[in-house]
Amino acid sequence: MNSEKIKIGVIGVGHLGRWHVQQLKLIPGAELVGFFDSDPLKSTAVQKEFNIKSFSHHAELLEQIDAVSIVTPTTTHFDYAQEAVRAGKHVFIEKPVTETVEQGQKLVEAAEASGVKIQVGHIERFNPAILALEDITLNPLFIESHRMANFNPRGTDVAVVLDLMIHDIDLILSFVRSPVQSIDASGVSILSLKEDIANCRINFENGAVANVTASRISARKMRKMRFFQPNAYISVDFLEGTSEVYELVDPSSAPSAKNLAISFGTIGQGSNSREIRYTRYDKKDINPLHYELSLFINAIRENTRPPVDGEQGVRALKVAKQILEKIEEHAETVKKHWDFNSGS
Ligand code: NAD
């Protein structure tokens, strides 16, 4: 383990980057050197609030650090990340990793050639509701996912698939661990120029199926994922940070001592009998951003693979792009149908 602190800087201190600054200041293995943002007003505000150096050019910041956190709009991720990687700096990059899959792949190759690490900000991996399931073997055959948000113009420069659904795509790919076989999808733009609501069905080669819905025009917020697998049903509530598991277990096995566990009786006879057990995993006191950034710093200090590396970021982006292609195909069908009905 490298005993030196990792010198790190932030590029982009808007809505999320400001939180990166706040959390990086609190991580013992990191030394926050400063930040760069192209907006002078925002720079002054963040400099004053956190009492850290605002650099007037990103290149000047890069010279003084070992690692950088890129929290700018997605269209700028590739250029900043490529420059940093070529300069031998480790890169934390917000999701989606880059604008295009080709850029993401180029970045992964460049990082390998330079011997630096890339971690992508798929923060839901570190949601307490997901972390609580570390002892559960997730082997889902069917997944139902809903991510419904209120409308906010921020983020509407990209479709809801790239803004919100990509979190669920990343999680699902990490749990199913099988190549995608086919995708069916549809989406509608209502308030913005890009799709504000989308649904897709992802079929995996191993037979698993995921039905995923994301919306940014919902009156009520909801972020849930439900996993169905032989002998277990697992429900994750990302907003609450809690998880519930219903499973068939050996009646002689000890229920969780740390969490609320209730027996709903047994089914079957003799050695075939199984207990229906419910366990509720209450919220762990973890700040997902702090934890995610700490793991990045640890990966650099201990020279290990970051938990969500560049390849995983590209993998999620690739599936998101396939979903967008299917949405376009579906939109063409709808358009033809409407043209036909209107007689034009
Ligand atoms: P934002 O618009 O609030 O902030 C972006 C900041 O970048 C602004 O301060 C802006 O001045 C600055 N900026 C813009 N162009 C720049 C440039 N060329 N060079 C330097 N600075 C520049 O956006 P945000 O919501 O903070 O999103 C930033 C990134 O974080 C996006 O990639 C977004 O997808 C991602 N994001 C991730 C999550 C998550 O859950 N992981 C949540 C929100 C946003």
Sort residue 226 into left (φ over 0), alpha (ψ -120 to 50) or beta: beta
- Mean pLDDT over 123-132 rounds to 96
CB contact at 8 A, 174 and 312: yes
Task: Please check the confidence at residue 32 and state whether its pLDDT lies above 80.
Answer: yes
Atom of ligand 1 nearest to the CA of 17: 26
Calculate ∠ Cα 170-171-172, nearest 5°.
Answer: 95
pLDDT classification of 148: cutoffs 50, 70, 90: very high
Per-residue pLDDT at 321: 98
Residue 247's nearest CA partner among 280, 282, 207, 208 is 280
User: What are 236's two structure tokens?
Assistant: 């994750």
The 10s digit of each residue's pLDDT in 255-312 is 887 888 999 999 988 888 999 999 999 888 899 999 999 999 999 999 999 999 999 9
Q: For residue 112, give Cα distances in angstroms to 118, 122, 148.
A: 9, 20, 37
pLDDT top residue among 251 and 318: 318
Ligand 1 centroid to residue 13 C-alpha, Å = 7
Per-residue pLDDT at 342: 56
CB-ligand 1 contact for 59 (6 Å cutoff): no
pLDDT classification of 85: cutoffs 50, 70, 90: very high
Per-residue pLDDT at 328: 94
pLDDT top residue among 155 and 285: 285
DSSP state of 217: S
Task: Please check the confidence at residue 343 and state whether its pLDDT lies above 60.
Answer: no
Atom of ligand 1 nearest to the CA of 13: 9
Q: Is the dihedral of CA 290, 294, 295, 297 positive or negative?
A: positive
Cβ atoms < 10 Å from Cβ of 85:
27
pLDDT classification of 232: cutoffs 50, 70, 90: very high
Q: Is the dihedral of CA 45, 50, 56, 62 positive or negative?
A: negative
Per-residue pLDDT at 55: 98
The 10s digit of each residue's pLDDT in 238-247 is 999 999 999 9
Task: Please check the confidence at residue 169 and state whether its pLDDT lies above 70.
Answer: yes
Same CATH topology for 6-122+288-305 and 126-282: the answer is: no
Ligand 1 centroid to residue 188 C-alpha, Å = 25
- Mean pLDDT over 18-29 rounds to 98
Ligand 1 centroid to residue 159 C-alpha, Å = 16
Per-residue pLDDT at 154: 80
Task: Please check the confidence at residue 344 and state whether its pLDDT lies above 60.
Answer: no
pLDDT top residue among 335 and 126: 126
CB-ligand 1 contact for 274 (6 Å cutoff): no
Domain boundaries, the chain: 6-122+288-305, 126-282
Give me the chain's average pLDDT, please.
Answer: 94
CATH of 6-122+288-305, one of 3.30.1490.110, 3.40.50.12780, 3.40.50.720, 2.40.37.10: 3.40.50.720
Atom of ligand 1 nearest to the CA of 77: 32
Per-residue pLDDT at 68: 98
- Mean pLDDT over 154-160 rounds to 84
- Mean pLDDT over 49-76 rounds to 97
pLDDT classification of 341: cutoffs 50, 70, 90: low
CB-ligand 1 contact for 37 (6 Å cutoff): yes
CB-ligand 1 contact for 53 (6 Å cutoff): no
Q: Looking at ligand 1, which residue's alpha carbon is closest to its atom 8?
A: 14
For the domain made up of 126-282, the CATH class stated in words is alpha beta
Per-residue pLDDT at 1: 64
Cβ atoms < 10 Å from Cβ of 343:
5
pLDDT classification of 181: cutoffs 50, 70, 90: very high
Q: Cα separation of 103 and 128, whole Å?
A: 31
Determine the 3-state secondary structure of 212 from DSSP.
strand
Percent of the chain with pLDDT over 90: 84
Place of tokens 């570390």: 134
Percent of the chain with pLDDT over 70: 98
Q: Is the dihedral of CA 292, 293, 296, 301 positive or negative?
A: negative
CB-ligand 1 contact for 39 (6 Å cutoff): yes
- Mean pLDDT over 37-57 rounds to 97
CB-ligand 1 contact for 147 (6 Å cutoff): no
Overall pTM surpassing 0.85 (yes/no): yes
pLDDT classification of 24: cutoffs 50, 70, 90: very high
Q: Cα separation of 303 and 2, whole Å?
A: 8
